Amino acid sequence: MGPIGVFDSGYGGLTILHGIRQVLPEYDYLYLGDNARAPYGSRSFEIIYQFTRQAVLKLFEYGCELVILGCNTASAKALRSIQQHVLPETFPDRRVLGVIRPTVEVIGDLTKSRHVGILATEGTINSRSYEMEIAKLHPDIKVSGQACPLWAAIVEADEADSPGADYFVKKRIDQLMRKDPLIDAIILGCTHYPLLMNSIVKNIPDGVRIVPQGQYVAESLKDYLTRHPEMECRITREGTCRYLTTENEEKFQEHAQIFLNESIDVRQIDLNR
């Protein structure tokens, strides 16, 4: 038995962790941020797979039976390979889930025009993961994507409410809406982006719905555990949450306060060992 593992390339996955803990507070959690090698957004498929695989194996070492990739880039570029190769060959009883599928499953109920936009990192947009997953479940929906360079960096610099943030947020939203003015729902395809919500709401056209992921990932995980009691019984239940980082511990604590309203204890680790 062990905690639920949550992995992200940096800090954005803390928004996913927060959403999960709001819905499922009774379980234990272990968060791992590969902050020393972030951001992942513009890296190649091969490097992202290598880094994500290292992180998943490390969380397995710490006793996690179930790992959530709380990172859109890792979910887009590494999840399928891990599910198809790493787990069957070495860890057939463990599971790794992502954050893209839960959002895709509900998007059909959130759009009336059947035109959906994606705001995400360059890596997630280039992977076309959202387009492919939406096409499987909702073939009538047209998807348009827009990469948002600097958005994650703005959040981690604690500049989410600055005039500079407004400029870059408006620029990318305008670009997306020019691609398809019929969009009536926009998925925030990066876990950093909910912290830009004030600026996003200010610059979004009237009638367009914003779709953050935390709530839907949490509800999907709750449903998954209900449907898989053989996994649910292997998760410890003391309501604890621990944190690991590949960066400096003090730096992680400082940045994590942007995402969490609580003090945390964190331990630095090396994924190459």
* CB-based burial, 179-207: b 16+ in 10 Å, e otherwise: eeeebbbbbbbbbbbbbbeebbeebbeee
**Catalytic hit among 64, 71, 148, 241:** 71
159, burial (CB in 10 Å: exposed 0-12, middle 13-18, buried 19+): middle
Tell me which residue has tokens 């870059």: 168
Beta carbons within 8 Å of 12's beta carbon, 6+ residues apart: 70, 71, 152, 155, 190, 191, 192, 193, 259
Is residue 190 part of the annotated active site? The answer reads yes
**Catalytic hit among 64, 148, 190, 241:** 190
DSSP letter (8 states) at residue 113: S
Long-range CB contacts (within 8 A, 24+) of 249-256: 251/35, 252/11, 252/33, 252/35, 255/11, 255/35, 255/156, 256/11, 256/14
Is residue 233 part of the annotated active site? The answer reads no
Separation of CA 215 from chain center:
11
Token pair of 224 as six digits: 């998954």
CA distances to 190, 198, 204, 219 from 59, rounded to whole Å, are 22, 34, 38, 22
**Residue numbers annotated as active site:** 71, 190
